[in-house]
Structure formats: structure tokens, C-alpha cells
Amino acid sequence: MNFSRSLPDWLDLSGRVVVVTGGGGLLGSQHAEVIAELGGHPVLVDLKIDQSHELVEVIQQKYGVSALAVAADITSEDAVREVLNTVIKSYGRVDGLINNAANNPKVESGENSDSSWSRLESYPLNLWAQDLAVGLTGALICSRAIGSHMALQGHGVIINIASDLGVIAPDQRIYADPEMPVEQQPVKPVSYSVVKHGIIGMTKYLATYWAESGVRVNAISPGGIYNDQPEDFVQRLTNLIPVGRMARHDEYKGTI
């Protein structure tokens, strides 16, 4: 077996077709852009279809490759199968899947906010179910449908987007509001950590499950990404980060 390839070869995605769930979001759009930048065809799967269509137009004009936006609920097996059918009909192949979609509830504080909902004692079970359905079950459904197809063709890649909170526990002090009593303090909801820990576990499982079928499965665990958060929150978080800053939204392109 010959593993000798040059760096440009490794970075060349010409003609590769990659499905990106949550493709219209902050990170999903960056994943899609780097695929196009290296010659591939990103397929943006998202419920926010207008935003995805706009991004597809930008990508096509900027990088000169075709891209596709598909509206789909990834918690539906039928919808995901239809996504796969659409991709095959459009491109005749699929080479990769980036499981990026996830709910990420905003933790807010202040006198006009009701942050007690996020606390473990009062976290609504319907939100727990929704978060697990999108972030974990959705990733399973997409992996099963698209990953199985890639296994049959003998090659493919799955990248699961986990989080630093899939490796460590949230430091709830960064969300604290000194003006609020303990029982009303905002916290990062339990579902987010559980989903991201689960994504890492799923990655390990799939990596060995399809190891002999030519499908590689990996995960990345991004840390905090700057997105115009309040300055006091940014300061509390960056105090915990050794390099002293949050990540830029485009900083994970090279890893993808």
C-alpha cells in the first residue's frame, strides 16, 4: 500500500461532495467554504434554507464550484434519505459528511432575563429531548444513511463536530450574574454537554465499525468561538484559556 502523497494532494478536494448539516450556521458556513475553497462541492443541509441559499450563491461566485442547499429536518429518517437521494441525483456521489448541526441555547443574564430555565433543577424535559434529537439522534441518522452509502462505495469521511464541553465540564462561573440569587443563576444546560460527550462516543464507535470499509470517522472539539458576546463574558472565558483569547470563526478551516 502506497501512502506517499504530497501536501497539495492531501489538501485537494476537487470534485469531492461533502454534506454539511447545520450548513447555514456560524461554523457550518465555514466548513462549507473551506470545502469549496479546495475544489469540493459542499451540500448545505439546514432548516434555515433562505440563509443557506444565500451562502451557496456566495460560495459559487467566490470559488467557481457548484454547491447545493437542501432544506431538511435531520431528526427525520425519511428526510435524511431524501437528502442522500438529492445529492446522488445532483452529483452522482457523496464523499463526506460533517455532522455539525446542534442546538446551542444561549445563556443570558440580566434583570430582564429569566435564566432559571437553564438550571438542572428546572431544565424542561422537552428542551432536553429536542437537544438530543438534533445533536445526537440527528447525527446518528445522518451517519447511518450517508455513512452506510460511503461504506458500500468503499471510501468516505465523517467529521463530527463535538466541543471542548464534550471533554470537560462547563465552568458555570463564566455565566454568573452577581446580581442574581443562587437559585436563579444562569448556567450552560446539561443537554449540551451530554450531546457533545455523546458525539465523541459515537465517533469512536463508528471509527471502528467502518474501519475496514474505507470510511474514516473523526471528531474535532472546538473551544469558545467569538461571536460578539458581551465583553464581561468574553473576559471571564478568556481568563480560562491558556492563549488568552477565544477562537475566530474561521480558525477551524485548516482542521476540517
Q: What does the pLDDT look like over 191-217, one tens digit per residue? A: 999 999 999 999 999 999 999 999 999
Beta-ladder partners of 97:
19, 158
Residue range 83-104, pLDDT digits in tens: 999 999 999 999 999 999 999 8
For residue 19, report the phi and psi dihedrals to the nearest 5 degrees: -85, 130
Looking at the chain, the number of H-run helices and the number of E-run strands are: 9, 6
For residue 220, report the phi and psi dihedrals to the nearest 5 degrees: -120, 150
Min mean pLDDT across 121-125, 174-178, 206-210 is at 174-178
Mean pLDDT confidence for 158-178: 94
Kind plus residue range of the DSSP H or E element containing 31: helix 26-37
Choose between 108 and 185: higher pLDDT: 185
CA 207 centroid distance within chain: 18
Structure confidence at residue 65 as a pLDDT band (50, 70, 90): very high
Residue range 107-121, pLDDT digits in tens: 655 444 556 789 999
Residues in the chain: 256
Q: Give the number of other Cβ atoms within 10 Å of residue 245's Cβ.
A: 13
pLDDT at 4 exceeding the cut of 70: no
Bridge pairing between strands 96-99 and 68-70: unpaired
How far, CA to CA in Å, does 36 sit from each of 17, 23, 49, 65, 201? 10, 13, 19, 6, 29
**What pLDDT, on a 0 to 100 scale, did the predictor assign at position 112?**
44
C-alpha span between 169 and 190 (Å, rounded) = 10
Mean pLDDT confidence for 225-234: 92
Please, what is the average pLDDT of the chain?
92
Mean pLDDT confidence for 165-191: 92
Q: What percent of the chain has pLDDT over 70?
A: 93
Sign, Cα dihedral of 47, 195, 82, 40: positive
CA-angle at 128, arms to 192 and 119, nearest 5°: 70
C-alpha span between 251 and 256 (Å, rounded) = 10
C-alpha span between 155 and 177 (Å, rounded) = 50
Structure confidence at residue 2 as a pLDDT band (50, 70, 90): low
- One-letter amino acid at 88 equals I
**What pLDDT, on a 0 to 100 scale, did the predictor assign at position 111?**
46
Q: Give the number of other Cβ atoms within 10 Å of residue 163's Cβ.
A: 24
Contact 133, 195 (CB under 8 A): no
What string of H, E and C letters represents the secondary structure of 198-216? HHHHHHHHHHHHCHHHCEE
Mean pLDDT confidence for 220-234: 93
**What pLDDT, on a 0 to 100 scale, did the predictor assign at position 1?**
52
What order do you get walking across the sheet with 156-161 strand by strand?
68-70, 41-45, 17-21, 96-99, 156-161, 215-220
- Nearest Cα neighbor of 229 from 175, 180, 191 is 175
Residue range 11-61, pLDDT digits in tens: 899 999 999 999 999 999 999 999 999 999 999 999 989 999 999 999 999
C-alpha span between 181 and 179 (Å, rounded) = 7
